[in-house]
Chains A and B, each alone.
Chain A
């Protein structure tokens, strides 16, 4: 049973990718997940950022709420640490407050990564992330594309996703990543206080899976380039759901909270069993199976 999949020129031994922001600030944490088909780095910017104060994560009934605030050591220190890494497929996530800083971070990150992921979707980071105006996306993507040789993926949030994807594709994106966390908040009723120090954050985990699946399903119909689904996948069935909606690979993060560091290995085993039970030789055969007019 073959789990290998491709993202343009990249071949992944399995479709499971560690998403940006989860156990990926330090090189060894990423190297300690050799079962992953790929790893996305923490989103890194030009300058060091401490991130927001605590609480920065709230565990909820059906997911996780976080407002880390894009903490990162700055791209120079990050690249320094990553040099010589042993990760098979490393996707470098970058962000910036304007085109120049985006491009600078991207160029440096590309020296250690096999592909880039432009974070245009963090839902609680002011002018960064989801704050990047839709009309700026296309020129931003093409500016990065001009400077790097590795594939450039664009990570989008659920809000306004079709229009923003259109802009990313117009700029020359090599793939689309959907979705980021969903802008959300939690209030403690005993004290009347928003729990997150930043008050507003992003919601991840099982609760957002149907939103992510819908977004992938729409993007896979609108575009022919690879789509990478992310949001709430914690089991092999969740991964298959994303794949059938049109994902060539699936990123996961919160799953490591629910299932620990062995989650990737377990899900790979379950995917193989599922393929065997269904007499399917390769996971690539089910990509897009749920799309209308699917001829498979």
Chain B
């Protein structure tokens, strides 16, 4: 159905680049962690955003990085956005020892997953300490949070994937972040026979599985994804290598 218009109930600043926008939408209240919505800023753009809060009220957490997300960041409580969705398949929480690997804004869809896992270990990475997203929230919900930063300003100095060493006992890994990072996580897990789920990003237009803009090897991130299993990802030639420009042209990641 057409976008449902909601007044923002609250806007929270999470880091220097991330804001969380709260609204209340009956359909999103039923969403699975990892599902996404199309967020319409009337007159500006419509963008896919993962739900970062699912419950009585819902939210998306947005990193400002271009005209659309900057227009969102300029919105205040009471201003209106349009929402359609939730779309796609989210994470499916399974019992067992869980490790959650988040890179940057990738923490957003993983936050609502944490409450469905038993004492997960969260590996949280960012470029620098001030951009670590939902560190406090994760500390509250997880058994343990280990941090890595590219510049060493907090936690381990280096990529978050280096924190995987020592978590070989895990039964399952859940990840979201830059695709190169997720590729490393998926490869690491496959080599050790650990089940893994990763949430992918592709340029999206329809969100409905018809326009083909989010295609990856004949699958559609908006419909079969955004969360895929390690087995599926291992069979995809494009994963970690190629994406599509808005024109449909194949371009390197």
Contact = CB atoms under 8 A, between A and B. Distances in A.
Contacts of B45: 53-54, 197
Interface stretch (B100-108, B146-154, B157-165, B212-220): B212-220
Given A51-B246, A188-B42, A59 B2 contact: yes
Contacts of A78: 248
Given A188-B5, A188-B82, A193-B43, A50 B218 contact: no
A190 B5 contact: yes
B205 interface: yes
A50 B247 contact: yes
Contacts, number: 127
Interface string B202-229: 0001111111110101111001000000
Nearest to A49: B247
Given A49-B247, A56-B206, A190-B5, A26 B218 contact: yes
A26 B46 contact: no
Interface in A181-239: 186, 188, 190-191, 193, 195, 197
Given A42-B248, A81-B250, A64 B210 contact: yes
B246 A50 contact: yes
B9 to A, nearest CB: 16
A56 B211 contact: yes
B244 interface: yes
Contacts of A50: 245-247
A195 B84 CA distance: 12
Interface stretch (A98-106, A111-119, A124-132, A254-262): A254-262
Interface string A39-70: 00010000011110111111111001010100
B194 interface: no
Given A28-B215, A28-B218, A57-B205, A71 B210 contact: no
B66 to A, nearest CB: 12
Contacts of B3: 55, 58, 188, 195
B47 interface: yes
How many residues of B sit at the interface, in one of the four size bands? 35 or more
Most buried by A among B218, B244, B250: B218
A81 B242 CA distance: 13
Interface residues of A, number: 47
B248 A73 contact: yes
A253 B42 contact: no
A72 interface: yes
A16 to B, nearest CB: 16
Interface string B1-30: 111010000000000000000000000000
B210 A72 contact: no
A57 B207 CA distance: 9
Q: Is the interface of A mostly helix, strand, loop or mixed?
A: loop
A31 B207 CA distance: 21
A190 B2 contact: no
A21 B43 CA distance: 25
Nearest to A53: B45
B80 interface: yes
A71 B248 contact: yes
A257 B80 contact: no
B218 to A, nearest CB: 3
A32 interface: yes
A49 B248 CA distance: 9
B80 A191 contact: yes
A59 B210 CA distance: 12
B249 interface: yes
Interface in B28-59: 38, 40, 42-43, 45-47
Given A64-B210, A193-B42, A59 B217 contact: no
Given A55-B3, A55-B46, A25 B209 contact: no
21 contacts: A23-B220, A26-B244, A32-B219, A48-B249, A51-B246, A54-B38, A57-B206, A58-B2, A60-B2, A66-B211, A71-B213, A71-B247, A73-B245, A74-B249, A77-B249, A81-B250, A188-B5, A190-B5, A197-B45, A257-B209, A260-B223
Interface of B: 1-3, 5, 38, 40, 42-43, 45-47, 80, 82, 84, 205-213, 215, 217-220, 223, 244-250
Given A59-B2, A256-B210, A257-B208, 12 more contacts: A23-B212, A42-B212, A54-B46, A54-B205, A56-B46, A58-B2, A71-B213, A72-B247, A188-B5, A191-B42, A195-B2, A253-B210
